[in-house]
Amino acid sequence: MSELSELIEINRNIENQNREIIRLLKVIAGEKDDGDDWEYVPPMGAGQTEELPDAAYLVTSPQAGEVYFLDGTDIFRLSIKNNETVIDNIAGSGQTDNFKLQEMIANESVKRNQSLEDSTVILSIENCTNLPETLRVCYQQKAKNVYLPWSSMTQLVGAPDILMKVLKLDFYKTEEQLIEKLFKEV
């Protein structure tokens, strides 16, 4: 595939993701679908999504050393206990190897003996490949704060302002900036 073809495909995926974000936000806000005649097509390589149970897995009060994150539609809890990293899939059966950032934050949490805010989700660039679906899961599972890499902001172009009211989205440019935001002195 030529570079131009790849760029066109990426652009189509972004447009479809933006439409899906808008559709989901209308559903969340209780607005009636205006009958747009388009179908959401997940990005290349994205797996089929499965329905999540009604339990609110992201209504959490993490302890020091605990970080919650998503990889696809699976919800994970990463814990540091006795200098050992433990990863639990709390809403599915899949595994992940995209947890470097979350492990760093959990270690920082232990080092400072400070936990993250309640119902907080940390996403890395690897966790944001299908952002509309990820945000749907965050909303459905009652997350309140979602930290996203700055580069994922392009997937939200054209999304309605209500998105910021439904979920508190906080963007970070670097890992150091994220740590400052998470562990700011009160």
Domain extents for the chain? Answer: 3-38+55-182
CA distance 79 to 91: 16
Q: Looking at domain 3-38+55-182, which CATH architecture does it have?
A: 2-Layer Sandwich (3.30)
The least confident of 115-119, 130-134, 177-181 is 130-134
- 62 — pLDDT class (breaks 50, 70, 90): very high
State mean pLDDT over 50-78.
85
pLDDT over 90 at 102, yes or no: yes
pLDDT over 60 at 45, yes or no: no
State mean pLDDT over 17-31.
78
- Closest Cα to residue 182, out of 105, 74, 110, 84? 105
Q: Which helix (H) or strand (E) holds 68?
A: strand 66-71
The two tokens of residue 170 are 């906080």
State mean pLDDT over 46-73.
77
Which residue bears the tokens 């995209």?
98
Sheet holding 66-71, edge to edge: 84-89, 74-81, 66-71, 120-122, 145-149, 168-172
**What Cα–Cα distance (Å) separates residue 54 from each residue in 57, 139, 155, 171?**
9, 12, 27, 28
- Return the DSSP state at 91: S
- 54 — pLDDT class (breaks 50, 70, 90): low
CA distance 64 to 174: 22
Q: Which residue has the higher pLDDT, 28 or 117?
A: 117
